[in-house]
Amino acid sequence: MSRRIAFGALLVVAVLVGAYLTAARQTQGPPLDPSSTAPDGARAVVELIDAVATIEVLDEIPGDDVDAALVLQDRFDRDAGDALLAWVRRGGTLVVADVDSTLTPPVTGAATGEVEVTCTGDVPSGLAAVDRLEVGDGFRVSVPDGAAGSCGPTGDGALVVVEAAGDGRIVSVGGTGPFTNRNLDEADNAVLAAALLAPDTGSRAAFLRPSLVVGTGDAGLVDLVDTPVRAALAQLVVAFLLAALWRARRLGRPVAEPQPVPIEASELTQAVGRVLARSRRPGPAAAALRDRARRDLSALLGLPLDAPAEAVVEAIARRTDLTAAEARRAAIDPVTTDADLVEVATLLTRIRKDTTHGRRPTHV
């Protein structure tokens, strides 16, 4: 009963750990990643745009069928940046929320928390409904001469700047705060995202997630391992620890196990001897001795195992000091008494000694 209770407890622990890791896997992810549901992730903006238009996550420059693209982290190399700017000039709308991007005007100051904004100039029509923005820890950017329009508080700089580029336009936003999961449902942030990325029902948008440039960034090797992989490895470690704990600790009283009793070789020999003595059958015992001797001496005598009895007698007489009669008694003559059995054993012992030590016969 105690083993069942312990097994049930371990099973409950394993289920709870698995549920925790699954929840952690669902709520964690890289900052500003479109698949992350963490507070600093950006999955909410993808789901918002997908509900009113069409959006896809790309690791490359969008095609001409895409109307608007969002960049939260500008990590494009020079060639990719030039290709992205060429896409804008062909008529695309690029929304850049990375104030370190070369496509964004210089920063003029900080903007934090919820800010009242007013839009002026040629801006997307949906921005007229934006009155307040929750920017988190954001920035104001300068409004270049010739900018099409801007949205911001009174004073120097703006939170949103719209600039024309060929047939398209670049919309610079002073920080990623309005697009994060934490702030998207605050103030008019969702209205801002929809107005820039999905102004019409049939619009096609893209979330650009460029690959990291080799040699940049501060992420370590462990940081590059995806969250589901880390969660799976953690589950394997927990399962191993539970299995080790289960096997290492035996619950309940120690169980006595019967141990086999080894039999000494001398005792076995004596027992076999007593059995043969009680049987009083010297003939089979002599046959067993002769068969064993033939197997042991066949190579020394130069005979095959199935050699005829007369050939065995002849080989023994030729290779040992035994006479032909003694060789016959050792290999052929019937054994009917214990005395005959003793004589056969003695003769076979002499044969082994003579053949092993290479002695030559002395009789003619």
Mean pLDDT, rounded, for 41-53: 92
Q: Is residue 260 part of a domain?
A: no
Residue with tokens 């610079």: 172
Residue by residue, DSSP assigns 111-176 as EEEEEE-EEEES--GGGGG--EEEEEEEEEE---TT-SEEEE-SSSSBSEEEEEETTEEEEEES-S
Average pLDDT on 81-97 reads: 94
171: pLDDT confidence band, cut at 50, 70 and 90? very high
Residues 135 and 69 in one domain: yes
The whole model's pTM is what?
0.54
**Residue recorded with tokens 């049939």:** 202
Q: Which amino acid is at 151?
A: C
The residue among 278, 289, 293, 268 whose CA lies nearest residue 355 is 293
Q: Are residues 111 and 140 in the same domain?
A: yes
Q: 83 and 9 in one domain? A: no
Q: Which of 175, 169, 146, 151 is nearest to 161 (CA)?
A: 151
One domain, residues 17 and 43: no
Q: How confident is the model at residue 154 (pLDDT cuts 50, 70, 90)?
A: confident
pLDDT given for residue 308 in this prediction: 80
* Same domain (yes/no): 9, 120: no
Q: Which amino acid is at 157?
A: G
**Residues 168, 96: one domain?**
yes
C-alpha span between 139 and 5 (Å, rounded): 59
* Number of domains into which the chain is organized: 3
Residue 363 lies in a domain: no
pLDDT at residue 266 in the model:
46
- On whether residue 237 sits in a domain, the answer given is yes
Bigger pLDDT: 254 or 79? 79
CATH number reported for the structural domain that contains residue 69 in this entry: 3.40.50
What is the pLDDT at residue 212? 44
Pair (156, 236) in one structural domain: no
Helix axes 309-319, 282-301, angle to 10 degrees: 60
Q: How high does pLDDT run on average in the chain?
A: 80
Within-domain flag for 272: yes
Residue 194 has pLDDT above 90, yes or no: yes
pLDDT at 114: 92
Helix, strand or coil for residue 310?
helix
Query: Is there a domain that residue 112 lies in?
Result: yes
At residue 72, the pLDDT reads 94
7 in a structural domain? yes
330 and 183 in a common domain: no
Report the DSSP pairing between strands 118-121 and 168-173: unpaired
Distance from C-alpha of 119 to C-alpha of 147, rounded to nearest angstrom:
13
Same domain, 160 and 50: yes
Pair 274, 316 in one domain: yes
**DSSP code of 177?**
G
Give dist(CA 77, CA 79) in Å, integer.
6
Q: How far apart are CA 237 and CA 25, in angstroms?
A: 16
Q: Please say if the pLDDT value at position 340 is more than 80.
A: no
Task: Examine the pLDDT at 292 and tell me if it is beyond 80.
Answer: no
Co-location of 203 and 305 in the same domain = no
Identify whether residues 158 and 184 lie together within a single domain.
Answer: yes
> What amino acid is encoded at 273 in this protein?
G
Residue 150 CA to chain centroid, in angstroms?
51
Residue 314 maps to a domain? yes
pLDDT for res 215: 40
90, part of any domain: yes
Residue 43 belongs to domain spanning: 34-208
